Amino acid sequence: MTTRIGMGLVGPGFVGAHHIDAVRRLGFVEVVAIAASSEASARKKADALGVAKAYGSYEALVADPDVHVVHNTTPNYLHVPVILAALARRKHVVSDKPLAMTAGDARRLLDAASDAGVVHAVTFNYRGNPLVQQAREMIAGGELGDVHFVHGAYLQDWLLEETDFSWRLEPDKGGESSAVGDIGSHWCDLVQHVTGRRIVEVLSDLTTVIGTRLKPAESIEAFARGGRDRRQAVSIHSEDLASILLRFEGGAKGSVSVGQVCAGHKNGLWFEVNGRQASVRWLQERQNELWIGRRNAANGTLAKDPSLLAPAARAYAHLPGGHQEGWADAFCNVIRDIYTFIAEGRRMSDHRPPAFATFEDGYHAACVVDAILESHRRGAVWTKVGEAVLTKVRLKPDATA
């Protein structure tokens, strides 16, 4: 691999810095430029991150001939214009989740990316954990037997106080859904990926625990804490807590709790899959362990040790057993899968490594979120995923095929 790939990033906030860190670890990608909402803020971020070029608009960044791959880490409402601008220039696109604020918009992006014939990816980064891949291998290999129950939660506490604020809570910037679109989309993608089964029906009960928040005068980055000065009371209508029942294709049942107002939970993502032979459970906050449950033998905990993992999962572990790997390592695994695919000149119709989620995965996640909103709106009734969207449009064949 001799050619260096040029990366440009739009939206250098909380997660943008991790995209830059991850591509730099690969050794064959150069971070060429970043774009922010003004030239001054772009320059400041570029200097802090050691990036040469700084642009005050995403249009200028996507036009830079040295940028081959555009990363989109802007607030959700900018995903459509930023991605469409990059695709119009036939740049590969790596977007953070959620791909778009509605399934309709996500569908537009999937179609545009297919028409442009470029590589398109969504950073559903929890796929990149070696023990997530191990669980996936075990399920695909039949070690759990027929899967009948898939359940878990994604709980955080960073929006628990009325002074906690994020653009995620404003429908015009984050979308109609807040917690479900923001972190529920991660959980849904993850369990669909691990089990190999799509969520086909949902029943949801959504709650807004904190109905009035004190919005700061200036925007603050995600997870930053602010004081009470210069704040304005605003009504919040999007959910910060959700209870959801799930039905998977093939008949498995499931449930998930999603909340960002649950004291003590920092990044409490966990899932458990129960099959007729065995169970597996993975907790993001103890991500170097995989619990394995059995009926007629002792339960066990598999440690992240490359020598103990299935061959396909081993590629995602880079340190010997006993050395902890974490969030940033799993994120880098996803980025490595995507960039290796690009460097090898592959097309989207080619076989992709497992941790690589595409705009099609982003579209399906958006369909699940839309169905969750729709179920709640209809008074918590079973709602088919894609009822509103999937039935109207058929997936177009990949233009690169």
Report, in Å, the least distance between residue 1 CB and ligand NAD. 25
Distance between terminal CA atoms of the chain? 24
Q: Find the binder of ligand NAD among 8, 75, 152, 259 (CB under 6 A).
A: 75
- Contact range with ligand NAD by CB under 6 A, out of 69-77, 280-288, 368-376, 385-393: 69-77
Q: Which is nearer to ligand NAD, 73 or 133 (CB)?
A: 73
Q: Is 73 in the site for ligand NAD (CB under 6 A)?
A: yes
Report the residue number, 181 or 353, with the smaller CB distance to ligand NAD: 181
Comparing CB distances to ligand NAD, the nearer of 184 and 386 is 184
**Closer by beta carbon to ligand NAD, 185 or else 383:** 185
By the rule CB under 6 A, 395 interacts with ligand NAD: no
d(CA 198, CA 219): 37
User: Any contact of residue 8 with ligand NAD (CB under 6 A)?
Assistant: no
Q: Distances in Å between the alpha carbon of 271 and those of 22, 284, 294, 295, 338?
A: 25, 9, 17, 19, 25
Q: Give burial (CB, 10 Å; 0-12/13-18/19+) of 237.
A: exposed
63 contacts 90 by C-beta, under 8 angstroms? no
3-state secondary structure of 201: strand
Q: Does 269 bind ligand NAD (CB under 6 A)?
A: no
Q: Which pair of structure tokens corresponds to residue 270?
A: 């966990």
For position 97 contacting ligand NAD by CB under 6 A, the verdict is: yes
- Cβ distance to ligand NAD smaller for residue 215 or 247: 215
CB nearer to ligand NAD: pick between 50 and 345: 50
Tell me how far CA of residue 7 lies from CA of 54, 92, 259, in angstroms. 13, 10, 34
Give the interface size with ligand NAD as a residue count (CB under 6 A). Answer: 23
Q: Does 238 bind ligand NAD (CB under 6 A)?
A: no
Closer CB to ligand NAD, 12 or 275, in the complex: 12
User: Which residue, judged by CB position, is nearest to ligand NAD in the bound state?
Assistant: 13
Query: Is the distance from CB of 118 to CB of 90 less than 8 angstroms?
Result: yes
For residue 360, the minimal CB distance to ligand NAD (Å) is 18
In DSSP terms, 6 is beta-bridged to 30
Question: Which string of x and - marks every residue 107-146 that binds ligand NAD (by CB under 6 A)?
Answer: ----------------x-x---------------------
Among 7, 8, 9, 16, binds ligand NAD (CB under 6 A): 16
**Under the criterion CB under 6 A, does residue 10 sit at the interface with ligand NAD?**
yes
Q: Give the contacts of 383 (CB within 8 A, at least 6 positions apart).
A: 201, 202, 203, 204, 371, 372, 374, 375
Contact call for residue 96 and ligand NAD (CB under 6 A): yes
Contacting residue, 221, 285, 289, 350, with ligand NAD by CB under 6 A? 221
Cβ proximity to ligand NAD: between 96 and 240 the closer is 96
* Minimum CB distance to ligand NAD, residue 366 (Å): 12
- Over the window 312 to 351, marking each residue x when it contacts ligand NAD by CB under 6 A and - when it does not, the resulting string is ----------------------------------------
Helix (H) or strand (E) holding 152: strand 147-155
Alpha-carbon span 326 to 332, nearest angstrom: 10
Q: Is 11 among the residues that bind ligand NAD (CB under 6 A)?
A: yes
- The single-letter code of the amino acid at 333 is N
Within residues 172-211, the interface with ligand NAD by CB under 6 A covers: 182
Say how far apart CA 29 and CA 90 lie, in whole Å.
18
Q: What torsion do the CA atoms of 288, 255, 246, 183 make, to the nearest 10 degrees?
A: -60
What letter represents residue 194's amino acid? Answer: V
Tell me the backbone φ, ψ of residue 240, rounded to 5 degrees. Answer: -115, 0
Token pair 């860190």 is found at 21
Interaction site with ligand NAD (CB under 6 A): 10-16, 35-37, 58, 73-76, 78, 96-97, 123, 125, 182, 221-222
